[in-house]
Amino acid sequence: MGIQSDVRTSSGMFLSPDDSTYPIVRVAMRERERERELGDGEGQGRWGIEKAIEKRISVYSQVPVENGELIQVLRYKKSQFYKPHHDYFSDSFNLKRGGQRVATMLIYLSDNVEGGETYFPMAGSGFCRCGGKSVRGLSVAPVKGNAVLFWSMGLDGQSDPNSIHGGCEVLAGEKWSATKWMRQRSTH
């Protein structure tokens, strides 16, 4: 088993209030799709602002831009959630392009939501809120402009089972987020 870090998340104002007008947010909200990948298929964003956000993610995470997958925008409606899971791969097929996923950055795009926390059941030693319930672990409330960075691998290069996470049930409103997965090597 690999080295397992107690540090799971970092959050704070990642996007400024002015960033809410960026095309990545406007397109996602207008399209009202559950998932939408933004990019030109070559790992390059269509808009200059997406490139700026990717560079900001790279600086924050210390993972090179070229190691990132395309940004994926997700929407969760009332009663929707995502079961706890790992972002790392267990199959060889997904490892061929860029290797293992080493880190994930979640950026919250809306704050008109109740519930919808990002939940880490193996992190922390206390209780937290998850979709209106008190559960053991650590949760991060979706606040527009904030981001969460967490690692799927330990410093020894082994997958970290403590990186398990999920999206808590949305009780009211809609949760919008952008996800950026980062790999061991270039994805291009």
Domain of 133: which CATH number?
2.60.120.620
Is the full-model pTM beyond 0.85? no
108, two tokens: 């919250």
- Please check whether residue 66 lies inside any domain of the structure: yes
On whether the CB atoms of residues 73 and 174 are closer than 8 A, the answer is no
- Please check whether residue 119 lies inside any domain of the structure: yes
pLDDT (0 to 100) of residue 165:
96
Question: What is the distance between the alpha carbons of residues 146 and 99, in angstroms, rounded to a whole number?
Answer: 28
pLDDT (0 to 100) of residue 7:
43
- Please check whether residue 2 lies inside any domain of the structure: no
- Please check whether residue 44 lies inside any domain of the structure: yes
pLDDT (0 to 100) of residue 97:
87
Question: What is the distance between the alpha carbons of residues 131 and 169, in angstroms, rounded to a whole number?
Answer: 5
- Please check whether residue 10 lies inside any domain of the structure: no
- Please check whether residue 25 lies inside any domain of the structure: yes
pLDDT in tens, the chain (188 residues): 344 444 445 566 777 766 554 555 655 555 434 333 444 444 444 456 677 888 889 999 999 999 999 888 899 999 999 999 999 998 888 888 899 999 999 999 888 899 999 999 998 889 999 999 999 999 999 998 889 999 999 878 899 999 999 999 999 999 999 999 999 999 88
How many domains is the chain partitioned into structurally? 1
pLDDT (0 to 100) of residue 28:
55
Question: What is the distance between the alpha carbons of residues 76 and 42, in angstroms, rounded to a whole number?
Answer: 27
To the nearest 10 degrees (0 to 180), the angle between helices 23-31 and 48-61 is 110
Which residues constitute the domain of residue 71? 17-183
On whether the CB atoms of residues 73 and 24 are closer than 8 A, the answer is yes
- Please check whether residue 5 lies inside any domain of the structure: no
pLDDT (0 to 100) of residue 148:
93
Question: What is the distance between the alpha carbons of residues 95 and 97, in angstroms, rounded to a whole number?
Answer: 6
- Please check whether residue 11 lies inside any domain of the structure: no
Count H helices, E strands: the chain?
2, 13
Q: Measured at the alpha carbon of residue 151, what is the angle toward residues 150 and 156, in degrees to the nearest 5?
A: 155
